[in-house]
Structure 1
Amino acid sequence: MKLHWSPRSPFVRKVMIVLHETGQLDDVELVRSVVALSQPPNPELLADNPLGKIPTLITDEGMALFDSRVICEYLDQRSNAGLVPSDPGARMQALRWQALGDGLTDMLLLWRTELTRPTGPWQAVTDGWLAKVRACMTQLENEVSNLRTAPFGIGHIAIACALGQLDFRWPDSDWRRQFPKLAALGAEWDGRQSISVTAIKNDQADDNSLTLGHLSFAPH
């Protein structure tokens, strides 16, 4: 298999965690693919994925799979690892947590892109994202007990990647102080090899926009 990959992408990280968890890392060739919303599409990636997005997985049969959710489910089924539960109730809970984690990551990525606009960010949009990100974090804090008791799976992976993106792009947010139960659970996840070895890394030394703007979870 071939994976269009970047060490900076939280959604690629989801796939990498699943590869580690399911023992399939050696089955995949990693292809460094640079993408940016503000740049022309990567032609090599576009040839495999008309959406021009990563992650993109090319299976042994030559099928191109798009979107981390689709790829992760394919890899889980391929290995029969059970990261996506088969029980209907457990499956729906895991997919719900995945949607929450992925949605939080999406907002953080879009927020950063908005802040890099040459004409400046649209304040009404960024204010809305701030409210939604705070609400997501509060929801996760309230669900820590359920997250801790459920078997580690795709929902936990998505949330871990969202928290990793928060640390990578918004290191001044001090989210652990405001959400201590979630911080403690996140520290437990960080102890898993699949989480620790896939931590987001910046491999582009000329990127001077890693941290932009300010995100605070302090009461206001």
Structure 2
Amino acid sequence: MLVLRYSPASPYARKIRIAADLLGLTERIEILAADASDPADSLRRQNPLGKIPTLVLEDGASLYDSRVIAEYLDHLAGGGRIIPADPSARFAALRLQALGDGVNDATLLIRYETFTRPESLRYGEAIALQQGKIDRALDTLDAAPPAGSVDIGQIAVACALGYLDLRFDGAWRETRPRLVDWLEKFARNVPPFEATKV
């Protein structure tokens, strides 16, 4: 059996859990929580970066990060399911995944800066830099919400928006109505999105 090391709040792990469900692989994967901040957690032996998600294969080898894991799961399910085989559609999905993951990267950096540092040590320019990335990405997505079949790009974007809801009370929703509508439709059509919500 495969083992997915994860944290419930991780948008990257959520992306993999949704992908596994859509690919019909949930029954083949044990979901096992990891504490990335605990030096004694076996995660650091499974992934030298100590990051989640990490997928431990049946032979004991590990795959990381979420993009590699998603590619592996799609391959395991026969290929071309959430990562299209057609080059044009494939690179559109991968580009969209990069945008969603980039929003998560920036959101996490803001979270670390504001949650883990004392207020006197927070660096406002760094926060503003990351917020600019988020705002530009969301504006781009609101201008042209994802369309077509559910793929890894749409999953990544939905998880990024869900993470913004979790960490910043959905403030993004106030000025991006088309993206709000898109996410509501995605949630209705992709049940594992709601099932993995924290």
TM bin (shorter chain): over 0.9
1:198-217, Cα deviation, whole Å (9 max, x unpaired) = 11x2xxxxxxxxxxxxxxxx
The answer (yes or no) to whether the contact 1:55–1:66 under 8 Å persists in 2 is: yes
**Equivalent residue for 1:157?**
155
**Equivalent residue for 1:216?**
none
Paired positions, count: 193
What is the alpha-carbon distance in structure 1 between the residues aligned to residue 112 and residue 134 of structure 2? 16
Q: Please list every run of 5 or more consecutive structure 1 residues that lacks an aligned counterpart in the other structure.
A: 202-220
Deviation for aligned residue 1:41: 3.7
1:86-111, Cα deviation, whole Å (9 max, x unpaired) = 10000010000000000001100110
SS at 2:36's partner residue? coil
RMSD: 1.3
Which 4+ stretches in 1 moved above 4 angstroms? none
Identity of aligned residues (%): 37
What is the alpha-carbon distance in structure 2 between the residues aligned to residue 197 and residue 142 of structure 1? 28
Report the structure, 1 or 2, having the larger helix content: 2
SS at 1:75's partner residue? helix
- Which range moved further: 158-167 or 134-143? 134-143
**Equivalent residue for 1:28?**
29
When the two structures are superposed, what TM-score results if normalisation uses the length of structure 1? 0.84
SS at 1:54's partner residue? coil
What is the alpha-carbon distance in structure 2 between the residues aligned to residue 8 and residue 43 of structure 1? 18
When the two structures are superposed, what TM-score results if normalisation uses the length of structure 2? 0.93
**Equivalent residue for 2:91?**
92
Give the one of 40, 44, 56 matched to 1:58: 56
**Equivalent residue for 1:105?**
104
